[in-house]
A and B are shown apart, each in its own frame.
Chain A
Amino acid sequence: MSKTWIALIGSSALAFALKYLGSAVPEFWLSHPRIQRINNLIPIALLSGLVIVQTMTEKTKYIIDHRAAGVGFAIAALIAKAPFPVVVVGAAITSAIVYRY
């Protein structure tokens, strides 16, 4: 089995386990303020890591290319309070233009 399939099946199984767990465990397990705080911060940390790695690296090297232009547009759009589809589609268009010229 390829590593893509392992990732697909493993992540899906654990995602379901987490969703199911929430409805099945006693409330005090998950309602501790410390757990709540960490739970709120984890997406922020991981999404930040994903943004920078996907924008400025290629395997184990730093690289500034068309993607940075796209993400630059996304930042400007978010500051201007643009809706989500505008952010993503605009980033793609900007990146595609820079890639071609």
Chain B
Amino acid sequence: MSVKRDSFSVSFTVGAYGSAFGASAVANHFTVLQACLLSLLLFSGASQFAVIGVMGAGGSAASAIATSTLLGTRNALYGLRMSSILKHKGWRRAIGAQITIDESTGVALSQSNEVDARKGFWYTGLGVFLFWNLFTLMGALGANAIGDPSAWGLDAAVPAAFLGMLWPRLKERATWAVAAASLVLALVLVPNVPAGVPIISCALIAIVVGWRSE
């Protein structure tokens, strides 16, 4: 029972946030259809916001794809972690892969046995998928109706969302250092390189620090 409750509450709260994505996508000149397709096909919050953020800032498709993909690398590690619990083959593995995200993995790994872990993964993954897509559509339609995104603060909602995703990850000194170095690097690069490149360049800092630190 508590697996279902956990899964539902996570699904609904996270899914509701899809409305912010839908609205932000439209504010960044994506159509309602494109906003919905990103939620259906890409289905990974930070990566989706990265695509609209980089494109909205005038970046190229290549830098949007690269930023989105690097933000999605953690999903591969979630997939690895879950594969020993799920043990799926064929089409189930493909559907399971699409819903391998922060929330489904998080709820699954917080269960005390494998049966509940499997339930938690599927309930949460499918639940977030359902609500995230519904709310994306509502947010996109809503933003389409209200016109000027700045008048509603939507252009500030996107960086605030990124900050909200970043904040819980800033625990040790090394993580603060990576964040600070990335802020500086991105700012220094902005006037000197095409839009989108400053953001993707920050990955170099993560690679250098992660490679060297013990």
Contact = CB atoms under 8 A, between A and B. Distances in A.
B26 interface: no
Interface string B67-102: 111111111111111110010100001101110100
A22 B34 contact: no
Contact of B160 (A9, A49, A70): A70
Interface in A1-51: 3-12, 14-16, 18-25, 27, 30-31, 34, 36-51
B115 interface: no
A51 to B, nearest CB: 5
| Secondary structure type dominating chain B contacts | helix
| Secondary structure type dominating chain A contacts | helix
Contacts of A14: 65, 68-69, 72
Contact of A66 (B16, B47, B88, B156): B156
Interface in B145-171: 150-167, 169-170
A53 B67 CA distance: 13
B164 A87 contact: yes
Contacts, number: 316
Given A23-B83, A53-B186, A99-B153, A71 B77 contact: no
Contacts of A39: 73-74, 77, 210
What interface size band does chain B fall in? 35 or more
A7 B51 contact: yes
Interface stretch (B3-11, B52-60, B106-114): B52-60
A52 B55 contact: no
Given A8-B38, A44-B166, 15 more contacts: A11-B42, A12-B37, A12-B38, A12-B42, A15-B43, A22-B100, A34-B210, A40-B210, A42-B206, A45-B202, A51-B163, A52-B186, A59-B58, A74-B156, A95-B157
